[in-house]
């Protein structure tokens, strides 16, 4: 009688166990003779390293060794995230790092090694992050994406996560180019800029900052990976912001987009950087100790008590004026300038959970007794269906 042997049990037996790659330990180094596909950092810590309020050192916020190209702007952003989390004294494991696909999306492996990370699907970080946030409103959500990930394949998801006011820090590491697939233009590449091979980009650029403003992001900033003093406090302030925070970080691609003719090269961004303000983030009850010249500082207090001291570099710039910010950006973009700084903040913002009116307890902690209406309710439902 043919064909009666259940076939799903039959598969190629690959025999040998994979002992060599099977040793426990999250941060263990690769094994000799095995292709190194991840690089863990040695665990040694200098006893004299400074500690933050929670007693963590910088090292506690680090991840694996970056496998990006030497000099990549993304690594500077990674360092800035580490610095911002250290300074805010965040418990590393209370952060969820979520990314899409691409060079930028690899970076969550390189910071906060004790946090859960999720390198999801190309362009889909925002939906995964939104779902994660729905499940547990108590964690800090860090979304890391790139310009291909957010301005092309994931443009829709980027837009809708901003619209929904998901409480997150959404960082786009924007280099204007597809690095991992070797140098194609991305949708943020400026019209008229040239690829490494000399091809002119004829399509208009998408400015994610302008879009985020239009869609109602309640914290919008732009920065430059080469300017950590500007970037670190922006990330810190964004993390402390309750609502959709968006930071576009121009992050030159050393391999494919750092040549003359590119508008995302280190040289170009340095020459055209037009910072509207500088930011200091003051947490806790400390007094503002920095000595500012009178009339040059605007203090913004966020929901959680964090104060943002904004040193104005452009006297006319008002970061509470959404429409003004949009106009300012357009005018300066037309002149080829890259406007950076905290561009818009609504300190009274709320978030998706407020819109959905969900319980304070994270949904993932609710149990059967909280969720299941039980037989008595079911009897009533049955009775109503007769």
Partner 1 sequence: MPDQSPISSVNDFVVRFANVNGSGSASANEMFARSILRHGVPVSPRNIFPSNIQGLPTWYEVRVTEQGHLGARGGVDMMVAMNPQTWDKDVASIEPGGYLFYDSTKPMPTSKFRADINVIGVPLTAITNSTYTDPRQRQLFKNIIYLGAMCALLDMDPKIVEQLIAEQYKGKEKLLSSNVHALHLGRDWALQNLKCPIGLQVKKADKVGDRIFMEGNSAAALGAVYGGATVCAWYPITPSSSVAEAFTSHCKKLRHDPKTGKAKYAIVQGEDELASIGMVIGASWNGARAFTATSGPGVSLMTEFIGLSYFAEIPGVIMNIQRAGPSTGMPTRTQQCDIIACAYASHGDTKHILLFPEDPAEAFEFAAQSFDLAERLQTMIFLMLDLDIGMNHRLCRPLKWDDSRQYDRGKVMTAEMLDEPGRDFGRYLDVDGDGIPYRTYPGTHPTKGSFFTRGTSRDRYARYSEEGAVYADNMQRLVRKFETAQDMVPRPLQANAAKPTKYGVIYFGSTSPSMDEAIGLLEAKGHHLDRLRIRAFPFHSSVASFIADHDFVYVVEQNRDGQLRQLIVNENGIDPVRLVPIVHYDGTPITARFIASAIADHQDHLKVTPLRKVKS
> Among residue numbers 117 through 146, which ones bind partner 1 (CB under 8 A)?
117-121, 124, 126-136, 138-139
| 292 touches partner 1 (CB under 8 A) | no
Per CB under 8 A, the list member of 68, 88, 92, 246 interacting with partner 1 is 92
| 9 touches partner 1 (CB under 8 A) | yes
| 245 touches partner 1 (CB under 8 A) | no
For partner 1, which stretch binds (CB under 8 A), given 16-24, 75-83, 218-226, 337-345? 16-24
| 32 touches partner 1 (CB under 8 A) | no
Q: How far is the CB of 83 from partner 1 (least distance, A)?
A: 20
Nearer to partner 1, 40 or 313 (CB): 40
For partner 1, which stretch binds (CB under 8 A), given 7-15, 182-190, 199-207, 236-244? 7-15
| 315 touches partner 1 (CB under 8 A) | no
Per CB under 8 A, the list member of 43, 51, 94, 320 interacting with partner 1 is 94
β-partners of residue 279 are 310
With CA atoms as reference, report the closest residue to 60 among 31, 28, 30, 27.
27
Q: Kindly state the tokens that stand for 59.
A: 């090292």
Contacts of 242 (CB under 8 A, 6+ apart): 167, 302, 303, 304, 349, 350, 351
User: Residue 151 and residue 286: Cα distance in Å, rounded?
Assistant: 40
Nearer to partner 1, 127 or 257 (CB): 127
Instruction: Give the containing element (helix H, strand E) for 340.
Output: strand 338-345
Q: CB-based burial of residue 363 (10 Å sphere; 0-12 exposed, 13-18 middle, 19+ buried)? A: middle
For partner 1, which stretch binds (CB under 8 A), given 89-97, 217-225, 258-266, 306-314? 89-97
User: Residue 275 and residue 206: Cα distance in Å, rounded?
Assistant: 20
| 25 touches partner 1 (CB under 8 A) | yes
3-state secondary structure of 212: helix
| 51 touches partner 1 (CB under 8 A) | no
Q: Which single residue is written with the structure tokens 């390189």? A: 110
User: Residue 356 and residue 342: Cα distance in Å, rounded?
Assistant: 28
Nearer to partner 1, 113 or 226 (CB): 113
| 116 touches partner 1 (CB under 8 A) | yes
Within 333-372, the residues that bind partner 1 by CB under 8 A are: 353, 356-360, 363-368, 370-372
| 102 touches partner 1 (CB under 8 A) | no
Q: How far is the CB of 133 from partner 1 (least distance, A)?
A: 8
Q: How far is the CB of 282 from partner 1 (least distance, A)?
A: 26
Question: Residue 370 CB: number of other CB atoms within 10 A?
Answer: 10
| 42 touches partner 1 (CB under 8 A) | no
* CA 207 from centroid of its chain's CA atoms: 17
Contacts of 304 (CB under 8 A, 6+ apart): 240, 242
| 55 touches partner 1 (CB under 8 A) | no
For partner 1, which stretch binds (CB under 8 A), given 94-102, 203-211, 215-223, 252-260? 94-102
| 91 touches partner 1 (CB under 8 A) | yes
User: Which backbone phi and psi does 375 adopt, to 5 degrees?
Assistant: -70, -35
Contact 309, 294 (CB under 8 A): no
Contacts of 381 (CB under 8 A, 6+ apart): none
Within 154-173, the residues that bind partner 1 by CB under 8 A are: 156-157, 159-160, 164
Contacts of 197 (CB under 8 A, 6+ apart): 183
Contact 69, 254 (CB under 8 A): yes
| 104 touches partner 1 (CB under 8 A) | no
| 150 touches partner 1 (CB under 8 A) | no
């Amino acid at each position: 009688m043919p064909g009666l042997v259940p076939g799903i049990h039959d598969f190629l037996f690959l025999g040998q166990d994979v002992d060599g790659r099977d040793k426990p330990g999250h941060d263990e180094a690769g094994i000799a003779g095995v292709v190194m596909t991840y690089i863990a950092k040695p665990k040694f810590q200098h006893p004299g390293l400074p500690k933050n309020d929670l007693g963590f050192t910088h090292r506690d916020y680090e991840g694996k060794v970056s496998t990006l190209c030497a000099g990549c702007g993304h690594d500077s952003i990674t360092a800035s995230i580490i610095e911002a989390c250290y300074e805010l004294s965040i418990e590393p494991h209370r952060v969820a790092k979520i990314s899409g696909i691409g060079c930028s999306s690899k970076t969550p492996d390189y910071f906060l090694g004790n946090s859960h990370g999720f390198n999801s699907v190309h362009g889909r970080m925002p939906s995964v992050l939104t779902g994660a946030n729905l499940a547990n409103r108590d964690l800090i959500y860090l979304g890391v994406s790139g310009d291909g990930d957010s301005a092309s394949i994931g443009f829709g998801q980027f837009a809708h996560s901003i619209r929904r006011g998901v409480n997150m820090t959404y960082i786009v590491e924007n280099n204007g180019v597809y690095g991992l697939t070797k140098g194609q233009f991305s949708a943020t590449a400026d019209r008229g800029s040239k690829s490494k091979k000399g091809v002119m980009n004829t399509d208009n650029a998408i400015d994610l900052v302008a879009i985020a403003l239009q869609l109602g992001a309640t914290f919008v900033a732009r920065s430059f990976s080469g300017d950590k003093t500007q970037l670190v406090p922006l990330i810190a302030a964004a993390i402390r912001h309750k609502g959709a925070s968006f930071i576009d970080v121009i992050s030159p691609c050393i391999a494919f987009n750092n040549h003359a003719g590119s508008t995302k090269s280190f040289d170009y961004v340095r020459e055209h950087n037009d910072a509207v303000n500088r930011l200091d983030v003051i947490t806790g009850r400390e007094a503002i100790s920095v000595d500012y010249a009178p009339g040059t500082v605007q203090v913004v207090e966020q929901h959680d008590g964090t104060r943002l001291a904004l040193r104005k570099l452009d006297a006319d710039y008002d970061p509470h004026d959404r429409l003004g910010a949009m106009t300012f950006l357009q005018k300066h973009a037309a002149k080829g300038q890259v406007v950076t700084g905290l561009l818009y903040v609504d300190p009274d913002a709320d978030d998706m959970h407020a819109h959905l009116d969900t319980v304070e307890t994270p949904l993932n902690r609710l149990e059967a007794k909280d969720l299941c209406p039980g037989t008595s309710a079911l009897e009533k439902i049955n009775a109503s269906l007769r």
